[in-house]
Structure 1
């Protein structure tokens, strides 16, 4: 979720952060770009034609969607074959991701609204996306999608549990050879029924007690009870690559408030409790906390390593909205997070990589910048990269990736063995 992170000032304590306005409201309140949607669609039509021709050639040579083998990737195969990777759970061994006993790296995209019900106006959760319908347009470079598995999206208007959208999304992932990073809760209010940012922002009080006792508006269960229910239902489903406890977890006293004095201890206690719960009912799936990783409350500097050292936390995460190939400072940058992940012998994924075309010289410029960034980050040791974010049409969000966008071609060749420009890691 594109919320501008609270970045730590060099040398500042975890309790003193610089605040910048979260920007996820763009998903429901579009921000207009200078260029018109018509011009954007015309540009995409041109680059899309080239991408489609390339995809056809790739498909003829290598098979169907997301099944072609790539260096470091054990691409999912059709279910039912002997030793079928589609039946295998993603695991961690030797500090790296594995699939069916082989080293596995991935590229993919956030399709956060794949579980948004058709009557989405009650959620403020964006236009619904049917994963089965959009999967062909994603291209062979998408092996993994990251999707909201929030309680509100599995609850009917009258408060009853309704798993139909989740079941349909998982079935689509299986039929298309995709894996899902399933995010179970949101630091921010969107998609969970809250009327305002202030009401829906998860504060220290929520991380201490509210997650156990306070159901969100119109929902039957607390967050903790919801996680138990969802994980129990899908614990035997290998299409789920990993559970993510939260989207962008952080522990502050209030929205736009300061970090709590004991933010790290509070967040640590929450994660310890939730990881223990998840692992007690689901022995198969990996677990990620779900963090921005750039110095947020409770997970700044060495606090990040301490949080992810918890037994049962399998995968570290970082969110990247910088033009730098390997972004951040020496306290909270991606290079430092990779150093910490190596010390913990746990893989790290970039759960969101967002680049707006207007910040990169247009749509082709974005593709070129993303190409350099992914190359540098994979070489630096990142286990997987997920772009922010897929849209089937132009919503006005500067981070949108539409059908035919050349950045999808970047994903299609990101794991190729041939060297690519800009692949050297940053110093």
Structure 2
């Protein structure tokens, strides 16, 4: 289903600029080069990442709530003082954050309002920091609260969902708008289309993970999504890297050998692994879906692997200093094994020290770990 005519008028100016490269239906108007073209600050090879032509092993945080502005949008977590946040980071850090369509909608007017997102890019640029925007979440959190099933990856990403309360346009059109608007930011490190993609099938209303099913062609469906959506991003922005936000632990569509098959999409430049539940262990997981296997598969696919989420509980359940030691040991081991960077889950401006959480505040000793493990130049 396509959005109402009134919504099309609101986004027409942006989509017209995108249509010079792509039709609105996503059909390429010219041949699209699969490999990113020269011109971006961040580049990738199988050996890792480079920033401004120099080797870069980035560290930093997931700070999902950066675009939250309660005076404009529905938000996703607490508001952050952007200058304080980016000013607190070591030089040349990388921050992964939510650039969801829902956060671009003014909750009072119902119109698109890019102000909070523009502010994130502006603050990152002012502090010469790098950012990794995620365009949509798998589980729908802070978006439409709907799990993305197999049908979404087949063609649902091209369609407007009139039942989605925090949506004005399709994901395809949001992707076009976001890429066209921010592609020239000097702080843009890469585009991430979906965080932790998993095109399985729900069998109950809650879509519980233990009841979902995984059809045999799911890897092909996910690979086709990256081939098609990635080609559209590359046509709009020929120079910026695209990263697949794979969780990497054997999820539907990327279990076992399927991880490498999806990673080999010509429109995936950087792959990911998300690391939870193995405190202090550098290379968690088993021989089929563990991090060691993922590093081997990424190398075979010719792509660097970014550990884009590392999380450990602390606070009431563990001293912050103990967590910092565990994660420091983990990152050092992963770097030696051949990963391309590490981002911690998750920075918040309002940590809860009396609770057992993964919160990371300004005074957390993990700031020292991030600074110690970063490499540039």
Task: Report the TM-score when normalising by structure 1.
Answer: 0.72
Count of aligned residue pairs for this structure pair: 324
| Separation in 1, partners of 2:375, 2:190 | 24
Partner of 2:364: 405
For structure 1, the 5+ residue unaligned runs are 1-86, 195-199, 418-427
Among candidates 69, 75, 81, match of residue 130 of structure 1: 81
Name the counterpart of 1:214: 160
Aligned to 1:373: 330
Q: Does residue 99 in structure 1 map to residue 51 in structure 2? A: yes
Distance 1:370 1:94, change over 3 A: closer
Please say if 1:233 is aligned against 2:190. no
Whether contact under 8 Å (1:106, 1:144) holds in the other structure is yes
Q: Secondary structure at the match of 1:167?
A: helix
| Equivalent residues in 2 for 1:148-159, closer than 5 Å | 148-157=98-107, 158-159=109-110
1:145 deviates by 0.5
Q: Tell which deviates more after alignment, 235-244 or 87-96.
A: 87-96
Which runs of 5 or more structure 2 residues have no equivalent in the other structure?
Answer: 1-38
Decide whether the 8 Å contact of 1:286 with 1:314 is kept in 2: yes
Distance 1:329 1:407, change over 3 A: same
Question: What is the CA deviation profile of residues 371-417 of structure 1, one whole-angstrom value per residue up to 9, with x for unaligned ones?
Answer: 10010011111111000000112244610011211111111111479
CA–CA separation in structure 2 for the residues paired with 1:386 and 1:223 = 26
Instruction: Name the CA distance, whole Å, in 1 between partners of 2:321 and 2:140.
Output: 33
Runs of 4+ in 1 over 3 A off after TM superposition: 119-123, 358-361
> Alignment partner for residue 314 of structure 1, among 269, 275, 278?
269
CA contact (8 A) 1:90 1:238 kept: no
After TM superposition, give the deviation of residue 359 of structure 1 in Å.
9.6
CA RMSD across the alignment: 2.0
Q: Give the SS at the match of 1:188.
A: coil
Listed as ranges, the matches of 1:277-426 within 5 Å are 277-321=232-276, 322-323=278-279, 324-357=281-314, 361-395=318-352, 396=355, 398-415=357-374
1:76-115 correspondence runs (5 A): 89-115=41-67
Q: Which 10-residue stretch deviates more, 257-266 or 162-171?
A: 257-266
Aligned partners of 2:40 and 2:154: how far apart in 1?
36
User: CA 1:180/1:99 → structure 2, altered by over 3 Å: closer, same or farther?
Assistant: same
Q: How far 1:238 sits from its partner (Å)?
A: 2.3
Q: TM-score, normalised by structure 2?
A: 0.81
Q: Confirm or deny that 1:116 pairs with 2:71.
A: no
**Cα offsets for 1:38-84 (capped at 9, x unmatched):** xxxxxxxxxxxxxxxxxxxxxxxxxxxxxxxxxxxxxxxxxxxxxxx
Contact 1:109–1:142 at 8 Å: present in 2 too?
no
Are residues 1:190 and 2:141 paired?
yes
Residue number among 171, 174, 190 corresponding to 1:223 in the alignment = 171
Distance 1:121 1:361, change over 3 A: same
